[in-house]
Chain A
Amino acid sequence: MQAFEYANPATLAEALKSLGSSWDEAQVLAGGTDIISLMKDDVAAPKRLVNIKNVKELGGIAPHAGGLRIGATATFDELATNAAVRTYPAIRTAVLGVASPQIRNMGTAGGDLCQRPRCWYYRAGFGLLATKDGQPLVPNGENRYHAIFGGGPAYFVSPSSLGPALIALGAKLTLESASDKRTVDAAKFFLAPGSETEREIDLKPNEIVTGILLPAAAGEKSATYEIREREMLDWPLVTASVALKISGGKVSSARVVLGHVAPMPWVAVAAEQYLLGKAISEATAEEAGAEAVKGAQPLSQNAYKVQLAKVAVKRALLAAAGKA
């Protein structure tokens, strides 16, 4: 790991002042579960780390405008034990699925959104787009955990556990720099980079994700279903987060978002449209799963993820409708 300076601000204003205009100048330290590993691997080498855990206004989970505000430095353990978070089953399941107790004690909500992809080519120094001598390494390489949607030029999968659930629930994120404050839809925060100089999230080096704003949970039936190789201490192979409004037994609004299948959480628009006006049953949930994976473009080793995605959508829908 390269040596770096350490800033330990007590206020958001001080924290924002400590950041720079490039990622090499300064990066944020929250739970540290990703940035410290990236720095050990020399994939990241900022000259300064800015610890934001002592910035009070970035913490906590509190009611907000009928919904909930989750502070950026709220840990997964806080999310797991918070009563209000239980009213958002899609989030609660995603939270409990994260890695291990130790990681949940350290990792933060903001860090989950800003962590870098787990693609092993990226982690081994081949860049976000994983190229060597200008050629992409993923399509004919070790791609069993890579994208089945939206691939090219980026083939990694978004590692965020909260992202798909937040998008399904229509959450917004608040971002702040020393000179600006903005609010973005969770659905627009995640991006597929087209070049090595772009990032996979809509965040500038001088900005901090300050919090997550969730709309009211009432009337929304949500669920997340995750599929992993190992039960614990592992990344999901595929997840599906869904949020439904049901009136008169029929779906009046549906959000279906897949995780770990694309460089960003992948909104399954065809499945959402299919569900409108339907009652949730084994048959319609299965059909929605089939709709969700239409157009999938698996690579040489990951066609199995298509079937997993189909099943994840089905099971998440049945769970949301209380029929699991």
Chain B
Amino acid sequence: MKDPDKPRKGFSRRGFLRGVSITGGAMGTGLLESAASAETGGAVVGPAAVSITLNINGKLRKVGVEPRETLLDTLRDKLDLTAAKRVCDRGTCGACTVIVNGKAVYGCTVLAIDAQGKQIQTLEGISPAGNPHPLSKAFVNNDAQQCGYCTPGFVVAAKAFLDHNPKPTEEQVNHGLGGNICRCGTYIGVRKAVLEAAGMTAAGGTKNA
């Protein structure tokens, strides 16, 4: 696993997109210097890109965005934080789940410009490479993934859920993670993993063959 905060070597589609967007962002901020802060009250900004600062995993990240850009696209295409996945892009699958001010939300349905001044947590911060969160370990222990594409969203949703319900029942887990879909159908493993991470099952008794 790589350190997500280190730039990747070589050429990638995402790196190319990021290069383009930085150019766009710089141009936007240049043009809109007088309207600089998109955070304040009455001022109207856009539709061109504006410079915003996002608090992501405890770090302040400056980035140029158009008002129409979602938080998910900004994370993935401009900040190289690609754990949150773009699947349905309509707030109906959960693969893009991130935590904003302590609450799980769909990153595809939040505007990046609307996320200013808020505490954003992504899987990269919750479960960093080399120091996985107990939930990540529990997902591995319980075979709680097959293709794995929904897994980051599930782990983030589970983290937000356990933060608010540290000792859940099985039924509460079902409801608490009801905003995430796994098309491989690994729900049994996910449920076991969440209960294991919460210490609600005896260690060693949760292996899902």
Q: Which residue in B67, B92, B106, B177 is a CB contact (below 8 Å) of A106?
A: B106
User: Does the CB pair A33–B178 fall under 8 Å?
Assistant: no
User: Does the CB pair A101–B178 fall under 8 Å?
Assistant: yes
User: Does the CB pair B157–A32 fall under 8 Å?
Assistant: no
User: Does the CB pair B39–A8 fall under 8 Å?
Assistant: yes
Q: Which residue in A18, A40, A99 is a CB contact (below 8 Å) of B89?
A: A40
Task: Report A2 CB to chain B, min CB distance, Å.
Answer: 7
Within 8 A of B (CB), among A1-34: 1-11, 14, 18, 29, 32-33
How far does the alpha carbon of A36 sit from the alpha carbon of B90 in the complex, in Å?
A: 8
User: Does the CB pair A48–B44 fall under 8 Å?
Assistant: yes
Q: Which residue in A4, A9, A29, A105 is a CB contact (below 8 Å) of B114?
A: A29
Contact residues in A for B15 (Cβ distance below 8 Å):
none
Interface status of A252 (Cβ within 8 A of chain B): no
User: Does the CB pair B91–A37 fall under 8 Å?
Assistant: yes
How far does the alpha carbon of A271 sit from the alpha carbon of B174 in the complex, in Å?
A: 36
Contact residues in A for B46 (Cβ distance below 8 Å):
3-6
How far does the alpha carbon of A33 sit from the alpha carbon of B179 in the complex, in Å?
A: 13
Interface status of A269 (Cβ within 8 A of chain B): no
Task: Report A126 CB to chain B, min CB distance, Å.
Answer: 18
How many residues on A have C-beta within 8 angstroms of the other chain's C-beta atoms?
A: 36
User: Does the CB pair B105–A36 fall under 8 Å?
Assistant: no
Task: Report A154 CB to chain B, min CB distance, Å.
Answer: 23
User: Does the CB pair B157–A9 fall under 8 Å?
Assistant: no
Contact residues in A for B175 (Cβ distance below 8 Å):
101, 232
User: Does the CB pair B109–A2 fall under 8 Å?
Assistant: no
How far does the alpha carbon of A51 sit from the alpha carbon of B114 in the complex, in Å?
A: 8
Interface status of A231 (Cβ within 8 A of chain B): yes
How many residues on B have C-beta within 8 angstroms of the other chain's C-beta atoms?
A: 41
Within 8 A of A (CB), among B85-122: 89-92, 94, 97, 103-106, 109-111, 113-114
How far does the alpha carbon of A33 sit from the alpha carbon of B175 in the complex, in Å?
A: 19
Interface status of A77 (Cβ within 8 A of chain B): yes
User: Does the CB pair A105–B38 fall under 8 Å?
Assistant: no
- Report the tally of A-B residue pairs with Cβ distances under 8 A: 113
Contact residues in A for B204 (Cβ distance below 8 Å):
none
How far does the alpha carbon of A99 sit from the alpha carbon of B161 in the complex, in Å?
A: 16
Interface status of A49 (Cβ within 8 A of chain B): yes
User: Does the CB pair B41–A102 fall under 8 Å?
Assistant: no
Interface status of B34 (Cβ within 8 A of chain A): no
Interface status of A233 (Cβ within 8 A of chain B): yes
User: Does the CB pair B109–A8 fall under 8 Å?
Assistant: no
**Which chain B residue shows the least CB distance to A75?**
B103
**Which chain B residue shows the least CB distance to A36?**
B109
User: Does the CB pair A103–B42 fall under 8 Å?
Assistant: no
How far does the alpha carbon of A217 sit from the alpha carbon of B179 in the complex, in Å?
A: 31
**Which chain B residue shows the least CB distance to A2?**
B68
User: Does the CB pair A18–B68 fall under 8 Å?
Assistant: no
Contact indicator per residue, chain A 29-62, by CB within 8 Å of chain B (1) or not (0): 1001100110110000000110101100000000
Interface status of B128 (Cβ within 8 A of chain A): no
User: Does the CB pair A5–B91 fall under 8 Å?
Assistant: no
User: Does the CB pair B157–A102 fall under 8 Å?
Assistant: yes
User: Does the CB pair A5–B44 fall under 8 Å?
Assistant: yes
User: Does the CB pair B41–A100 fall under 8 Å?
Assistant: no
User: Does the CB pair A10–B42 fall under 8 Å?
Assistant: yes
Task: Report B51 CB to chain A, min CB distance, Å.
Answer: 13
How far does the alpha carbon of A106 sit from the alpha carbon of B39 in the complex, in Å?
A: 19
Interface status of B136 (Cβ within 8 A of chain A): no
Contact residues in B for A232 (Cβ distance below 8 Å):
174-175, 178-179
Contact residues in A for B44 (Cβ distance below 8 Å):
5-7, 18, 48
User: Does the CB pair B41–A14 fall under 8 Å?
Assistant: yes
Q: Which residue in B67, B90, B106, B160 is a CB contact (below 8 Å) of A49?
A: B67
Task: Report A33 CB to chain B, min CB distance, Å.
Answer: 6
How far does the alpha carbon of A195 sit from the alpha carbon of B44 in the complex, in Å?
A: 34
Interface status of B47 (Cβ within 8 A of chain A): yes
Q: A32-B110, A49-B111, A101-B160 are in contact. List 8 more A-B contacts (CB 8 A).
A: A4-B68, A5-B45, A7-B44, A14-B42, A36-B109, A77-B103, A100-B178, A106-B109
* A-B CB contact pairs (8 Å), 10 listed: A4-B68, A10-B42, A18-B44, A33-B91, A33-B106, A99-B179, A100-B179, A101-B177, A102-B94, A233-B179
**What 6 A-B pairs are tightest by C-beta distance, nearest first?**
A100-B179, A232-B178, A3-B47, A6-B67, A10-B41, A105-B103
